[in-house]
Structures are given as C-alpha cells and as structure tokens.
Amino acid sequence: MSESLIDEDIRKARTLPSRYYTEQDEFDRLKAVFTGWQFAAHVSEFEAHNIRPLDHLEAINGESLLLVSGSETFCLSNVCTHRGMRLALEPCTKKTLQCRYHGRTFSLDGTLRHMPEFEQAIGFPSGADNLRRFPLKRWMGLHFTAVEGEPKAPWEMLEQRLGFLDVASYTYDPGRNRDHGVEANWLLYVDNYLEGFHIPYVHPELNQALDYAGYTTETFDGGVLQIGKAVEGDVAFDLPAGHPDEGQDIAAYYLWLFPNMMFNFYPWGLSVNVVIPVSPTQCRVLYRGYVKDANLAGQGAGSVLDTVEDQDQWVIEEVQRGMTSRAYDRGRYSPTQEQGVHHFHRMLSRLHL
C-alpha cells in the first residue's frame, strides 16, 4: 500500500479498495502486521496452570509460544531445540518443561537442564540449546508478546485513562470463552468494530443502553478508544476524582489496539476479543472474559454481548459478499462517525506492505 491510497483528510478520503478484502495476495501481504504486540493472557489465567501454550497466537502469526510463570514470567518458544517437537500441548503445572519426544528438559526460564545420551556430543550444550525468549510486556495485568522487535505502544497514555479499573485484580471466567467462525475477511471485523455509526441500525438492544449522541471516538498512535455513554440511570463506571472523564456516565470503554485486539471495559469487567485471520474470506474471533463484579453483568451496554456479536457477524458477512461485486470498489467515510475506520486504513496504508 502507499500512504496516498487513503487521504489524510477524512472529508476527502476514499475507503480501502475491495481487493484488500478478497484477494489472497493482499491477505498474505497483510500478515506482516501480526508480528508486533499481541495479547497473550491475563494474570489470573496463571491461577490454574503455570505453563500455558498460546494456541491463538500460533493461529495468528504461526509461532508456537508458551507463557511460563515461575519466580518470573517468560514468553518462550514452545519448540524443543533438539528436533523440533512442540513442548507443551495443553495448559499444565510443572516445575520443569520436559519434551515428550526424547526427554530434553528445560528450566522455566528456558535454559536447557538435561538431555539424555548427549555425553559424547561436542560443544553441547550451547546457548542455541536453550529455548528462545520472546519479548513480554505486562500492562494492567494483561500480558502481551511480540515475535519481532518490541514495537512502541501507547501503554502509559492508556493507563492514565483506564488504570483506575485495577484490571489486574479481575478473575478469568472460562464460561465467557467464545470462538466464533466468521465468513468474512478480518479487516471487515475490525472496520465494523471501529465505528458506532451502525449501532442504531444493527444493534437495537445495545442502542437502548447507550446514549448515541454522547458516543465519542479518539484516535492515537497504535489504536482507537471509543467511549459509550450510558443512558440516564443505567449502570456506569465510578470514576475517581480528577479522572479525564469525571462527571460523565460512561457505560463502556472500547479500546482497539492495532491490528486485531479489542478490549471492552464495562463496569462488570473486561471482555477481550482477538481477531484471527484465516483466509481472505474467513476469520475467527476469540472472546475472553475477566470479571470484576459479576452482579453487574446483567445490566447496561455490557449485558448483551452475544446478541451484539450475532448482529455484527450478520452484517459483516453480508458486507463480505458485497466486496466481490463488480459495481463496488471504494466508498467514503463519514467525517463525524468513521474517524476510527479512517485511522485504521491510514495505519495500514503507511506500512508499505
């Protein structure tokens, strides 16, 4: 892509050409965006097991990784340095990592500890026999990892806004896990997430809980924050004194981090959605839920998540069909309602993929 593809001025800009949503070449090229920070797990997920293979990350960027929590937490390669067996096949609790193929054993920091039948091997072990460590970032109780470099991300700025939530104290609720297959390109799922413009048309139930006129979108380097205001009397956050949004009834903070991660903060807790690209016309969406106050889960904007998801999938799948039309290539953005979508497309256009 080239930066000129999406005009910087939203009032003049045209949307992403439809080939980006349909063609294998474009799909393959865009895979490069998934090597930066990706959501791995919330701290509470270590309560049941100290070793967690990150299967969703393998589906996203092809890298088999492990989160290991001992005296410190590490993100390690999940591939044995002997002949390439995958080490942990499911979450487990262990003091060492032992390969099930020929018994090579690693400490929880990835250092090779023992290997049978290698006494006569020369120059063994060497650093190359340890498991590779990948970058790990802990932010508000959420772990992120990257397979290439440590890209800049707006962690501090977001923490000023959301830090009051004490997300690290939330509890993982596997009952909220979802794995949705969607017959649409992953970009369409993100585009749809980045605007509240469609709420009155597509989500009648959610529209009842949100004050549409008060819906705002803020764009920044690396993401978009949308803020849903509660209708009067509905459940809203208790904002501390001095908070930038003090005095407002906020029903939800919808945070998107480039390219595929959505963090939906509600008074009951946090719903994380991760979009996994599958093919030019298919993606998967994983839901993970972390609960602060289960009593609030039946109220307000955060109470109708499955209904909203079904409605979004319906509209996205119809748009995917529209993308193959000869009569459609590009549209225009609403300057007042589609700043988030425009911002995402500008980010993509600047990547020179």
Does 312 contact Fe ion by CB under 5 A?
yes
**Contacts for 303 with CB less than 8 Å, ≥ 6 apart:** 209, 268, 297
- Find the shortest distance in angstroms from Cβ 254 to Fe ion: 10
Q: Which stretch binds ligand FES (CB under 6 A): 80-88, 165-173, 176-184, 203-211?
A: 80-88
Does 80 contact ligand FES by CB under 6 A?
yes
Binding-site string for ligand FES from residue 27 to residue 66, where x marks contact by CB under 6 A and - marks none: ----------------------------------------
Task: List the one residue from 42, 52, 56, 104 that touches ligand FES (CB under 6 A).
Answer: 104
Task: List the one residue from 29, 49, 82, 86 that touches ligand FES (CB under 6 A).
Answer: 82
- Find the shortest distance in angstroms from Cβ 208 to Fe ion: 14
- How many binding residues for ligand FES (CB under 6 A)? 10
Task: List the one residue from 12, 24, 89, 101 that touches ligand FES (CB under 6 A).
Answer: 101
Task: List the one residue from 11, 19, 83, 114 that touches ligand FES (CB under 6 A).
Answer: 83
Does 99 contact ligand FES by CB under 6 A?
yes
> Which helix (H) or strand (E) element contains residue 121?
none
Q: Which stretch binds ligand FES (CB under 6 A): 46-54, 101-109, 156-164, 280-288?
A: 101-109
Phi-psi region of 265 (alpha: psi -120 to 50; beta: other; left: phi over 0): beta
Q: Which stretch binds ligand FES (CB under 6 A): 12-20, 81-89, 144-152, 218-226?
A: 81-89
17 closest CA partner among 260, 259, 323, 275: 323
Does 351 contact ligand FES by CB under 6 A?
no
How many angstroms separate the CA atoms of 239 and 251, rounded?
11
- Go through 44-75 and write b for each residue having 16 or more CB atoms within 10 A of its CB, e for each that does not: bbbeebbbbbbebbeebbebbbbbbbeeebbb
Does 86 contact ligand FES by CB under 6 A?
no
- Find the shortest distance in angstroms from Cβ 102 to ligand FES: 3
Identify which of residues 11 and 83 has a Cβ nearer to ligand FES in the complex: 83
**Residue 99 contacts residue 82 (beta carbons within 8 Å):** yes
- Find the shortest distance in angstroms from Cβ 33 to Fe ion: 22
Q: Which partner from the list Fe ion, ligand FES, none does 149 bind, CB cut-off 5 to 8 Å by kind?
A: none
> Residue 288 phi/psi, 5° resolution?
-130, 140
Q: Which residue has the tokens 């923490």?
A: 159
Please enumerate, as own/partner, the contacts of 216-219 that have beta carbons within 8 Å and a separation of 24 or more.
217/337, 217/339, 217/340, 219/339, 219/340, 219/343
**Contacts for 191 with CB less than 8 Å, ≥ 6 apart:** 341, 344
Q: Which partner from the list ligand FES, Fe ion, none does 133 bind, CB cut-off 5 to 8 Å by kind?
A: none
**Contacts for 81 with CB less than 8 Å, ≥ 6 apart:** 104, 112, 128, 129, 130, 131
How many angstroms separate the CA atoms of 170 and 43, rounded?
9
**Contacts for 119 with CB less than 8 Å, ≥ 6 apart:** none
Identify which of residues 195 and 249 has a Cβ nearer to Fe ion in the complex: 195
CB atoms within 10 A of CB 294: 11
Task: List the one residue from 86, 102, 132, 180 that touches ligand FES (CB under 6 A).
Answer: 102
Identify which of residues 191 and 312 has a Cβ nearer to Fe ion in the complex: 312
Share in percent of the chain as helix, strand, coil (round to 5) = 30, 25, 40
Q: Which stretch binds ligand FES (CB under 6 A): 96-104, 132-140, 212-220, 328-336?
A: 96-104
Q: Which partner from the list ligand FES, Fe ion, none does 312 bind, CB cut-off 5 to 8 Å by kind?
A: Fe ion
Residues in touch with ligand FES (CB under 6 A): 80, 82-85, 99, 101-104
Binding site for Fe ion (CB under 5 A): 312
